[in-house]
Structure 1
Amino acid sequence: MRPKKNPQKDLNKKSGMFFVIGLLLVLGMVYTALEWKSFESFKEYEVAFNKTDESIDEEIPVFELEVTPPPKPPVLPTEIEIIEDDDPIEETEVIAIEVNTETEVVDASDFEVIEEEEEVKVIWSTIEEVPVFPGCENEKDKRACFNEMMQKHIRKNFRYPKLAQEMNIEGRVNTTFMINNDGTIGTIRKRGPHDVLEKEAVRILSKLPKMTPGKQRGSAVKVSFAIPITFKLQ
């Protein structure tokens, strides 16, 4: 006859629960081991309580540096130039002027004062009587005739510089020249895109003929005239 087991004493009945509890414990230990952090302990030292040993006496070595003085500049011997008596020596004669009782006193009225007339310069747009270009003496509108003759003169003497053609240089040169009070051509000023074109513009204007000078209040004056010269390649 086999003895019967007591169901309350059966250990296999709670084996599943014990397995789960053991698994949780193992997982908790593994997690704690992985997340464990350790820090070094920080120790504070009180510096105020440190006392130096007065018996220790340190001497700081002293270094002496010798500076070499700069060399003295050489003393050049004084050169003495000997001049012979035969050499001619030019001397400046100084005439002393002394005033005495016989000196004649000159009156200021004895001197003639020459007043130089101030040179008047007038621009083309404000001149009363414009300069007359040769060939416009009998024209009624001398301003229009002057402009027309200027254009003819430029076309007649115009030459396109070869260097400007080779370098493909073109543009407008603004020129200003002065018609003096004797009818001659004075200072020529120019401003253009290149020196080659400026020189050609000056050459053209320098060939202008002598004109009848312009007048302001009946007196011949200098008159400035501005004209642009255009250089354009075909």
Structure 2
Amino acid sequence: MQIKKNPKANLENYTKIFMQLGLVLALLVVYLAIEKKTYDRVIADLGPVVLNMEDEEQTVEIEQIKPPEVKTPPPPTPDKIEVVEDEVEVEETVIESTETDEDEAVEVEEIVEIEEVEEVEEDVPFAIIEDVPVYPGCKGNKAKLRACLQEKITKHVNRKFNSELASDLGLSPGIKRIFVMFKIDKSGNITDVMARAPHKRLQEEAIRVVKLLPKMTPGKQRGRPVGVKYSLPIAFKVE
């Protein structure tokens, strides 16, 4: 006997319907997935906290170790304590007052003023001497005495100097100069004569002539006699 199936029980007839339903469900899931709203996850800012933690990790604190306190031992107790009785008399020191009464006379030692001795140079140049040496026969004030001294010395050299000596020495024509330096000492005498000339004979002649100068009244600096340095240039022409 052949078994006949109920046409309603045959599922092959519903295959297309199942397929369509599955497709609709799949589309629905996709649609819902697309339409679903998502929100970004908010994470709290922990930056400062992290930085503070890092700083705490990098900072190293070093504690200063204090040296142990050295306790000073108490002073040793004396071996024997002496007790002073109250009856012992103690001598008191009397302090005398140094104040003086108005009625008392006060003796004051005589004050002696010591004059300071001013140092004066022994030798002073003629240009800055206060009182120039006085040539015999010169008179007048300081300016006249200075001019008279220079004039007298110039005349003395012109009169005493041997001008023909230059020609005898065979010097070349022209003006020849001799520089003479000497000192008029504290007594007015001519000393320390030195000369520089183009020839030794001229040098010796200049020294000889200057030494023939007469004795003068010495120059003074601040009222005291001093030596006076004098420079004398001598010029003559050789033809």
Q: Which band: TM-score by shorter chain?
A: 0.3 to 0.5
TM-score by length of 2: 0.46
